[in-house]
Amino acid sequence: MTSAKKAPKKVKPVETEFGEAELVQEVWSAMETQAQENPAVALLHERMEGNLTLVGLTGGIACGKSTVSVILREMGLPVIDADQIARDVTRPGSPAYADVVREFGEAILGNGRMIDREKLGALVFEDDEKRRRLEAITHPAIFRAIAQEVAKLRRERNPKTVVVDAALLFESGLADCMDKNVVVTVSDDLQLKRLMDRDRLDENAARLRIASQMPSAEKAEKAHLLIDNSGTLEETRGTVRALFSSV
């Protein structure tokens, strides 16, 4: 006599709830992985992990961006100088230095085999393709160095706000990694006069320098906040203090 086979017991599937915490962790893990390869993601990762506000600061040539940076440092806010970082990442011995020299030749080198920024600038000043090739080499290195500086500030000072001072804030795409972007402005006539006085340029040369950059009006349209630097130093200092007390 054969016994009937018992039907296999049905196993009730276990329901797994994938909630907000799990989603955040998945996104976080993905960002950590991407940050190793993508400098822009690395910067975003540092911003989120530190729960801090990143503020981009820029302005047209001779509009007073550097003056505002000094005032912010006086207020005790940490300011990362992206333009200095751009110089540092192209020093001899760095990967970006080797790539720039390989791309543009040793004619761009000056004393001590340092990259002569004026010689390099003359090559890319009016050549969009060469400028794009230069940016493709330097921008990832700059982004990564800024992310590393933000991480260092988090470890040492744990600030609520970090300012990134960058002449090419919008042009480089760095603005997309910021929480807010601030543009320092003056009138066109005052910008021209200040540039001529500061760099001892004639009017034509000064206008060419201004025309080589993104127009100040376009930067202002992209900004979250504006600082008018047309008045006295004390007036600008008051504007900056009032603005950043709420940032």
Evaluate whether residue 54 is within a structural domain.
yes
Evaluate whether residue 211 is within a structural domain.
yes
Beta strands in the chain (DSSP E): 53-59, 79-81, 161-165, 180-185, 225-228
Q: How many CB atoms lie within 10 A of CB 156?
A: 9
**What is residue 149's predicted lDDT score, i.e. its pLDDT?**
92
End-to-end CA distance of the chain: 86
**What is residue 108's predicted lDDT score, i.e. its pLDDT?**
94
Residues 193-241: tens digit of each pLDDT? 999 999 999 999 999 889 988 999 999 999 999 999 999 999 999 999 9
What are the tokens at 31?
Answer: 């960002």
Torsion angle of C-alpha atoms 112, 144, 222, 65, degrees rounded to 10: -40
**Mean of per-residue pLDDT scores for the chain:** 84
Which residue range is the domain that position 188 belongs to? 23-244
* Residue 17 confidence class, pLDDT cut points 50, 70, 90: very low
**What is residue 206's predicted lDDT score, i.e. its pLDDT?**
92
Evaluate whether residue 8 is within a structural domain.
no
Identify the H or E element spanning 128.
helix 128-156
Q: Using CB atoms within 10 A of its CB, is residue 182 exposed (0-12), middle (13-18) or buried (19+)?
A: buried
Evaluate whether residue 11 is within a structural domain.
no
Q: Which of 9-23, 124-138, 149-163, 189-203 has the highest mean pLDDT?
A: 189-203
Is 180 strand, coil or helix?
strand
Evaluate whether residue 5 is within a structural domain.
no
What are the tokens at 111?
Answer: 């004393």
Evaluate whether residue 12 is within a structural domain.
no
Distance CA 226, CA 239 (A): 10
Evaluate whether residue 13 is within a structural domain.
no
* Residue 48 confidence class, pLDDT cut points 50, 70, 90: low
- Look at the chain and report how many structural domains it folds into: 1
The CATH number of the domain where 127 resides is what? 3.40.50.300
**What is residue 231's predicted lDDT score, i.e. its pLDDT?**
93
Evaluate whether residue 224 is within a structural domain.
yes
Q: Which residues contact 147 (CB under 8 A, 6 or more apart)?
A: 35, 39, 42, 43, 45, 46
